[in-house]
Amino acid sequence: MKKALVLNLLLLCSSSNLAQEVSCKDFEGDWVGSKAGSGYQGAITIRFDANCSYNWIGTNGPITPGKLQIKAKKHWYTNQAGSRGEVTKTGNELYWVNTWTGNSYEVKVTKK
């Protein structure tokens, strides 16, 4: 009886960990917010597809396409403008910092 209880508890814990994993589907759709720092500044929309590819769109149209890489603890992005950096997902918000290419701007967006 105790073995069955322990086994069920282990299965429950491992399945709840799987439910917390992040996938490209979690990013799919439009995220809106603002970009501050070097380059374009102002309102921004980031449109993701189901494969973690995205387009940054400013008030005057497209800025740059790119790709998000989902890792266990941190997410990383690259874009065609040459920027690379870290993306932090907290609930319904994404926070982008170009940590690998100058640390000169930040983007904060929320799921639309």
Is pLDDT above 90 for 7?
A: no
Provide CB contacts within 8 A for 70, sequence distance 6+: 22, 23, 24, 52
What global pTM score does this model have?
0.79
What value does the mean pLDDT take over residues 72-97?
Answer: 93
CA 37: distance to chain centroid? 19
What value does the mean pLDDT take over residues 89-97?
Answer: 95
Torsion of CA 72, 74, 80, 83, to 10 degrees: -160
- Record the tokens describing residue 1, joined without a space: 């009886």
Q: Where are the domains of the chain?
A: 25-111
Helix locations, the chain, DSSP H: 2-19
Note whether 45 and 29 are within 8 A (CB): no
- Looking at the domain that runs over 25-111, which CATH code has it been given? 2.40.128.500
pLDDT at 14 (0 to 100): 39
Note whether 106 and 40 are within 8 A (CB): no
